[in-house]
Amino acid sequence: MALPVREQFKYWAIATAAFAVVLWFLGDVLLPFVLGGAIAYFLDPVADRLERMGFSRAAATAIITVTSLVIFVILALAVIPTLVQQAVALFDFAPKLFRDLQTFLTENFPSLIVEDSPVRKTLATIGETIQSKGGELLNTALSSAASLLNMAVLFVIVPVVAVYLLLDWDRMVARVDELVPLDHRETVRMLARDVDKVLAGFVRGMGSVCIILGVYYAAALWLVGLQFGLVVGVIAGLLTFIPYVGAIVGGVLAIGLALFQFWGDWWWIAAVWAIFQSGQFIEGNILTPRMVGQSVGLHPVWLLLALSVFGSLFGFVGMLVAVPLAAAIGVLTRFATHQYKTSRLYLGLTGQNDT
């Protein structure tokens, strides 16, 4: 005999509360395992495709591990040091950038930026703040990560966890499926497929789009000789998951830097503009339709709300689990809405008589 709905709700509420408490107290401890699980989930389709090509699961995992290690070594030696160097240099360059902007406005719009005007004071304050707080923020982030997360241990545990989870992913999913209550197994499977579809479309799809556009923007800006082009391209790529924000933020930064660097040489300024215009065309017409799909049911505003709420409650680990939890909550909300529209509470006597 199945448990009454009220009893089932009580048990599920207790399980949810227990999960929140564990996440609250063990957030830093769980971080390597959450990261490893996210990496394994992201790479599972690659392993499945290699299996369909005739490789065993162990061989597919080994191929992915070796390839990822080679890519990481290349990035660590060639890209990451330059990226950090450009980020620090950009913070140091900010006061000069705003002084040049003051000079430009003074020469061309003298009535707008007179001595001791609010605009002039604001520009000077912004430049000094970026220089002082930007470098301090970067150093604090690095030192905090090293002290709180123990980066050395993190870089060891995360790959190991990811490899083991990737190797046993299908068996773990089958084991969890066996533990689902029999009365709700088909419903849970349907909801799990919907959640996986949303996550696959958004996390895997948008993650791939962000990486491709970040590499494209960084490489293209570097080829045209734009100062800090690498860090601007990475910022634009990372923000691509929010529609138009990546292109707008990256475009404003890149074109603003190009105006100061290439002033009078309009071909190079137009080239920087063309890079972001072409990036938007590629994203909207090729990458997003093929990798993400027309709709994954995860609105950017809902995503930002989830990131803010879970990040403030559970810290960095909360931000990592915000996307899957937001997807799950969205699927459950749509399922609950459908159930409500077919219930007596919504239909009433009139709706039942019509059917």
Place of tokens 């890149």: 254
Do 73 and 114 fall into the same domain?
yes
Assign 191 to helix, strand or coil.
helix
Q: Which two tokens stand for residue 261?
A: 């660097």
Do 148 and 222 fall into the same domain?
no
Do 113 and 224 fall into the same domain?
no
Q: List per-residue pLDDT tens for the chain, 355 residues long.
A: 456 666 767 777 787 788 777 777 776 677 788 888 888 888 888 999 999 998 999 999 999 999 988 887 777 676 666 666 666 666 666 666 666 666 665 665 555 555 555 655 565 565 555 555 555 555 554 454 444 445 656 677 888 889 999 999 888 888 888 888 787 788 888 888 888 888 777 777 777 888 888 889 888 888 888 877 777 888 888 777 766 677 788 888 788 778 777 766 778 888 888 888 888 888 878 887 777 665 556 677 777 788 788 878 777 677 777 777 787 888 888 888 888 888 777 777 665 555 5
The reply to whether 312 falls in a domain is no
Q: Which two tokens stand for residue 297?
A: 């049911």
In angstroms, the CA 236 to CA 217 distance is: 7
Do 72 and 206 fall into the same domain?
no
The single-letter DSSP state of residue 293 is: -
Are the C-beta atoms of residues 113 and 102 closer than 8 Å to each other? Answer: yes
44 CB contacts (<8 Å, ≥6 apart)? 166, 169
Contacts 24+ apart (CB under 8 A), 141-146: none
Do 223 and 174 fall into the same domain?
no
In angstroms, the CA 77 to CA 65 distance is: 18
Residue closest to 88 by CA, chosen among 131, 125, 123? 131
The reply to whether 340 falls in a domain is no
Are the C-beta atoms of residues 165 and 118 closer than 8 Å to each other? Answer: no
Give the Cβ contact number of residue 225 at 10 Å: 12
Do 88 and 126 fall into the same domain?
yes
Do 189 and 127 fall into the same domain?
no
The reply to whether 94 falls in a domain is yes
Place of tokens 């949303």: 198
Do 152 and 199 fall into the same domain?
no
The total number of structural domains that make up the chain: 2
Judge if pTM exceeds 0.75: no
Are the C-beta atoms of residues 243 and 295 closer than 8 Å to each other? Answer: no
Domain end, chosen from 153, 179, 205, is at 179
Domain end, chosen from 261, 296, 331, is at 296
Do 63 and 200 fall into the same domain?
no
In angstroms, the CA 338 to CA 352 distance is: 16
The reply to whether 7 falls in a domain is no
The reply to whether 251 falls in a domain is yes
| Host domain of residue 40 | 27-179
The reply to whether 4 falls in a domain is no
The reply to whether 80 falls in a domain is yes
In angstroms, the CA 42 to CA 265 distance is: 44
In angstroms, the CA 20 to CA 322 distance is: 12
Domain end, chosen from 259, 274, 296, is at 296
In angstroms, the CA 177 to CA 167 distance is: 18
* Residue 190 Cα to chain centre, angstroms: 26
Residue closest to 181 by CA, chosen among 12, 10, 325? 12
Do 217 and 283 fall into the same domain?
yes
The reply to whether 320 falls in a domain is no
Strands in 250-333 per DSSP E: none
Do 104 and 89 fall into the same domain?
yes
